[in-house]
Amino acid sequence: MIRKAKKSDISAVLEIEELSFQIPWPDYLFRTILGNPGFVVYEKNNIIVGYVVIDIVKNYAHIANIAVHPKYHRMKIGSYLINWCKLFGKKRGADALILEVREKNINAQRFYHENGFYIKGIVPEYYIDDNAIVMEKTIS
């Protein structure tokens, strides 16, 4: 079940964040966006197993952060979150989903490609230690 994130979800979100990223977002960032309609969690059997942070920027729905707990990979949870993002963006007038992914993160790029994203460009030195691949998916 996908639902709006709440304060009691933050510790589980932080655990997933730390397991998922080399340079995780600090807890204050998640606390700052609490209450934002674009910060949602995926709950399975009363356990937070994934989350997404999305914002509308002009005609884009920008996925700022998305992760699924490694124990729950390959269960389509990431795809469900992407589909939720598509609906979120469409309701708010966005034409496309857009995100950045590390150039070295081939598995994530493959996942996004399988979910209808294509490479739009590269941002050199976007991350402290890597370039970013900008990926886009048209909302229809």
Query: How much is the average pLDDT of 101-112?
Result: 96
Q: What is the pLDDT of residue 67?
A: 98
> Taking the domains of the chain in order of start, what are their residue ranges?
2-138
- Rounded CA-CA distance 38/11 in Å is 18
Homologous superfamily (CATH) of 2-138 is Gcn5-related N-acetyltransferase (GNAT) (3.40.630.30)
- Rounded CA-CA distance 68/92 in Å is 25
- Rounded CA-CA distance 19/58 in Å is 32
Q: What is the pLDDT of residues 5-16, one digit of tens each?
A: 999 999 999 999
